[in-house]
Chain A
Amino acid sequence: MGESILTAQNLSKVVPSTEGELTILHPLSLELHKGDSLAIVGASGSGKSTLLGLLAGLDLPSQGEVILAGHALSTLDEDQRARVRAEHVGFVFQSFQLLDSLNALENVMLPLELDGRKDAREHARHLLERVGLGQRLSHSPRQLSGGEQQRVAIARAFAANPDVLFADEPTGNLDSHTGERITDLLFELNKEQGTTLVLVTHDERLAHRCRRLIRLDAGHLVGPLEP
């Protein structure tokens, strides 16, 4: 087992609501090592996405701490957390989150351009070829099918060579066959690049391909299960 890349200690989230405070995530702790893969499963509203947001530093916990690549996220301000994300984190979303005004190649180039990489175009092209879209570089997201869009999103997520890849329902908007192929791709790249994978999913088959799995129910951890 390699060194620890992502640790959560007593993480909880409480939000104000009309009926007083509402705990959407009860305290939980976990630790992930480099190259690990973790699936977070649970019903709608069980707190899966909340946990993902906290782990990725998109949101701050009410209590507890997240240590991502050695950085205690609650001690950082939003901009410092953004730096941590830039250096260590990649994302894949259920709704793909491709920019409509950019074509497939440009979407993948975006994080590389932000990083000032001179070889952004070549590298992005290479990644798109790797995910099987070498022929569709100049297509806009609207011209691509759901599966193709998600492949572009995966290429973009791996472009900056992240330490941790967070995926929020990556197959949620896809049919089962396409979902299967996307899952394969995700795990292949994960293996090739030694990335740590954290994914939220409804899809039990996808969840069971991860090395570790936690199940949430109404904000409670109902047991970490080893596969």
Chain B
Amino acid sequence: MARLPLLRMISLAFRQLLRDARAGELRVLFFALLVAVAASTAIGYFGARLNGAMVLRATEFLGADLVLEGSSPAREEQIKVGKELGLQHAQIVEFSSVIATDNGIQLSSVKAADSAYPLRGALKSAAQPFAQEKPGGGPTSGEAWVEPRLLTALDLHVGDAIDVGSKTVKVTRVLTYEPDRAGNFYSLTPRVLINLDDLKATGIVQPGSRVSFRELWRGETPALESYRQTIKPGLDANQRLLDGRDGNQQIGGALGKAERYLNMASLVAVLLAGVAVALSATRFANRRFDASALLRCLGLSRRETLWLFALQLAILGLLASLAGALLGWFAQLGLFALLHDLLPADVPPGGLMPAIAGMGTGLVALAGFALPPLAALGRVPPLRVLRRDILPIPASTWSVYGAALLALGLIMWRMSLDLVLTFALLGGGVIAALLLGSLLLLGLQGLRRGLAGASLPWRLGLGQLLRQPLAAAGQALAFGLILLSMALIALLRGELLDTWQNQLPKDAPNYFALNILPVDKDTFGARLHELQAQAAPLYPVVPGRLISINGEPVQELVTKDSSGDKAVQRDLSLTWAADLPEGNELTAGQWWTAQPTGDVPGVSVEAKVAESLKLKLGDHLVFTVAGVNREAQVTSLRSINWDNFQPNFFMIFQPGTLQDLPTTYLTSFYLAPGHDKEIIELSRSFPAVTILPIDALLEQLRSILAQVTIAIEYVLLFVLAAGMAVLFSGLQSTLDERIRQGALLRALGAERQLLIKARRIEFGLLGATSGLLAALGAELVSLALYRYAFDLPWHPHPWLLLLPVIGAVMVGGAGVFGTRRALNASPLTVLREG
């Protein structure tokens, strides 16, 4: 670079870039980069900020350093040991209960805490909803702090009274933050926090009730470790020790899935944007052949010429990446806002890393996709100024696609951090693109033959598609993918839930009643009868945990990720029954006909649980129930229709085997709408009974689903933008030729209308093909989802046939718009240019 020092080169490149930008040359390239960087930055921030929130709360995640959790209260000596070790102690009890007021009832998640709680972090509360929040404190006896959504649900105000079981407490503050609820994204029910002193008066916690007791500990690491070592051997089956790490792992799993999904969506956006970058960079290079030859004539060396263009692209890349990172940062704010109900309230900012990584993504995409076409500029012989037909020797196909694939691989690896997944996706993507692309090519060729005798606009429009069949197939694939994603979202959001609900019989139970005490059993049943509620039988329930199968501890038999995990990690509701309950069907073995004959009673196991635990008939199981071990032998397996909203059980024992243990009852019933008052009265007369309104739960589920799908649609906007970038860059790359062709046709006497018609046909066909691909794909995916994921009868979705129409209108409109210059250019100017 003897002639041009770097600084002058940069300044020249910058000026040249500004001039090109002013001429509108760089819009599509800039836009494509912007989309790629914005998508990857937004998702990067999303993941980083959520992780940040987790790390920040590593210790306060549990509100303590160590927690002893169990479904029964901790034993005296378990608490004594900790206190002797000098650890700070707090106690909480959590359970679900219906909060009753004169305005209605609301299932809530009640936490009774002593005044020492929390040991790590602090509660935050406000005097009114949305008022300034204040850290510290907690409800004293007679008070309740509640989440704002409870106030909304029951039309309450601070100062009003609510009934928690038999105890009336006054709402004194609005609870805005609990340290140990930070990661609880899927909490369906609002929190009510009361003082532990009031717990007894509620009358809710009775032997056999489903309750979580937590002993919270805080202290120095050695003391904590010594506590852990001391009490670990003596833990009951229903008890476990938790520290911050455990909590993070659980959340990490759920989060990881969400993040991975969003990563995939943004990956699609980045890939499409990459294609757009490649197309527009090729055009950038092609349109600079003349300039390159001219610069060489003006005395620039090959290297200097190349540097000049490379610097232009680099500056453009940097600017677009900066703008994209900024856009991505704003976009993630939107994403957090959309998901505000599901996410922790105060998420730390993500720092600069996601923005830098997003910009890196853009620059790598630019390098991978734009360098090969750019390299051609260095090979333009200066003689081209005299003979314009001289073109640079093309780069080898391998170097072009190799660079692009390398860039893609790097980006995918960064976003998924999973080498196997990257290779699988990259390989699968290339194969799928090749297969579908070839199919599309064949289809287009078939069309060509079929339309040989068609009218002029059809032949012109189709001819344009067939002139660059690869580009056409690529664009059809890109748009097919976008339409497919949108169709699937629509399908999942609306229809699946509706289909499921429509399947329920009209009088399917709309309430569940749990924790019915034996003393209340008959009166509760009688009240339901008085209310003319259609109730299922009252099933006895004993909470118990499966601890061994054929003498081997369950924990060792079940791998962490198997679905059997769920059945052994928590207490199961064990019941007994003389008859096979309605909606159950035996799949193996025999239902008992008499009382147990041998020492070991029989148990009937739900078929899917049996499968995941690899249980067979005759297996010997041990359960721990209320501190004692009970044995049972598998005598039958059952399949259950879960959709009937009847009480269903994984494990049903032979009658008479668990009766001596603390038992509660549960049932489900249907009460026609408009009986809220009766339900309020019912829950007031039976404070220990938890009444779950199913409608409300479904409604909450639906609203959460709606939030999540909005977030997904939001991310899909990036995909759509990237798709648009592909379309426009594709259009741009053919624009010069279109202008020339249009001018020629008009010079030959073609009317403007003919050209418009040909364009409409061309892009309409392209869009309709994409739509058809999308409709077929969506139908296939829906078939798989209905059959295998949701276990619902599949039916065809005729509305998916709208997709080809939508595609034709969308792509057709954009296509005609994108090529309007070709219609408006004066034939004279164009032809004079030769």
Contacts and interface: CB of A to CB of B under 8 A. Distances in A.
Given A79-B302, A87-B299, A97 B294 contact: yes
Interface stretch (B381-389, B545-553, B717-725): B381-389
A140 B15 CA distance: 16
B19 A58 contact: no
Given A79-B301, A86-B298, A101-B20, A59 B383 contact: yes
A146 interface: yes
**Most chain-B Cβ atoms within 10 A of its Cβ — which of A58, A87, A100, A111?**
A58
B301 A78 contact: yes
Tell which of A79, A93, A102, A113 has the most Cβ of chain B within 10 Å. Answer: A79
B25 A53 contact: no
A110 interface: yes
B290 interface: yes
A113 B10 CA distance: 12
A148 interface: no
Given A53-B383, A59-B383, A101 B23 contact: yes
A155 to B, nearest CB: 14
Contact of B382 (A58, A83, A103): A58
B295 interface: yes
A191 interface: no
Interface string B7-39: 010001001000110110100000000000000
A78 B302 contact: yes
Contacts of A103: 19
B12 A97 contact: no
B4 interface: yes
Interface string B283-319: 0000000110011111111110000000000000000
B300 A114 contact: yes
Contact of B387 (A49, A87, A97, A100): A49
A114 B298 contact: yes
Contacts of B296: 82, 85
A189 interface: no
A99 B298 CA distance: 13
B80 interface: no
Contacts of A111: 298-299
A89 to B, nearest CB: 8
Contacts of B449: none
Contact of B299 (A102, A114, A142): A114
Contact of B15 (A95, A99, A113): A113
Interface string A165-178: 00010000100000
A158 interface: no
Counting chain A residues whose Cβ lies within 8 A of the other chain, the interface size class is: 35 or more
Contacts of B300: 82, 86, 114
B291 A99 contact: yes
A50 B279 CA distance: 34
A91 B382 CA distance: 12
Nearest to B12: A113
Greatest chain B CB density within 10 A among A56, A79, A82, A85 is at A82
A116 B15 CA distance: 13
B832 interface: yes
B299 A82 contact: yes
B1 to A, nearest CB: 10
Overall SS of chain B's interface: helix
B506 interface: no
A168 B382 CA distance: 14
Nearest to B23: A101
B385 A58 contact: yes
Contacts of A214: none
Nearest to A159: B298
B214 to A, nearest CB: 69
Contacts of B303: 79
Interface in B461-498: none
Interface size class of B (residues with CB under 8 A): 20 to 34
A100 B735 CA distance: 15
A106 interface: yes
B3 interface: yes
Contacts of A116: 4, 8
A49 B383 CA distance: 10
A116 B11 CA distance: 10
Contacts of A59: 381, 383
Nearest to B4: A114
Given A49-B386, A83-B3, A113-B12, A101 B295 contact: no
A218 interface: no
Contacts of B382: 58, 78, 82
A52 interface: yes
A97 B299 contact: no
B829 interface: yes
B351 to A, nearest CB: 39
Contact of A85 (B4, B298, B383): B298
B834 interface: yes
Contacts of A91: 297, 385
Contacts of A142: 829
Contacts of B12: 113-114
A52 to B, nearest CB: 7
Contacts of B834: 95, 173
Contacts of B387: 49
A83 B12 CA distance: 18
B301 A82 contact: yes
Interface in A39-83: 49, 52-53, 56, 58-59, 78-79, 82-83
Nearest to A141: B833
A197 to B, nearest CB: 16
Interface in B261-290: 290
B287 to A, nearest CB: 8
Contacts of A84: 299
Nearest to B24: A101
Interface string B69-100: 00000000000000000000000000000000
Given A82-B299, A114-B4, A114-B295, A97 B19 contact: no
Given A49-B386, A113-B12, A58 B297 contact: yes
A86 B19 contact: no
A156 B427 CA distance: 52
B832 A86 contact: no
Contact of B386 (A58, A87, A89): A58
Contacts of B381: 58-59
Nearest to A160: B298
B165 to A, nearest CB: 77
Interface string A124-141: 000000000000000010
Contacts of A140: 23
Contacts of A52: 386
Interface in A167-201: 168, 173
Contacts of B25: 101
Contacts of B23: 100-102, 140
Contacts of B297: 56, 58, 85, 89, 91
A53 B297 CA distance: 10
Interface in A98-126: 99-103, 106, 110-111, 113-114, 116
Which of B2, B298, B385, B387 counts the most A-chain CB atoms under 10 A from its CB? Answer: B298
Contacts of B22: 101
Contacts of B295: 114
Contacts of B385: 58, 91, 93, 97, 168
B420 to A, nearest CB: 46
B469 to A, nearest CB: 29
26 contacts: A53-B383, A56-B297, A58-B297, A58-B381, A59-B383, A78-B382, A82-B382, A83-B2, A85-B296, A86-B299, A89-B297, A93-B385, A93-B386, A95-B834, A97-B294, A101-B19, A101-B20, A101-B23, A101-B25, A102-B23, A110-B298, A114-B3, A114-B298, A116-B8, A140-B23, A173-B834
Given A85-B299, A95-B388, A110-B298, 8 more contacts: A59-B381, A78-B302, A85-B297, A100-B23, A101-B23, A113-B15, A114-B12, A146-B832
5 nearest CB pairs, A to B: A86-B299, A79-B301, A101-B23, A85-B299, A58-B383
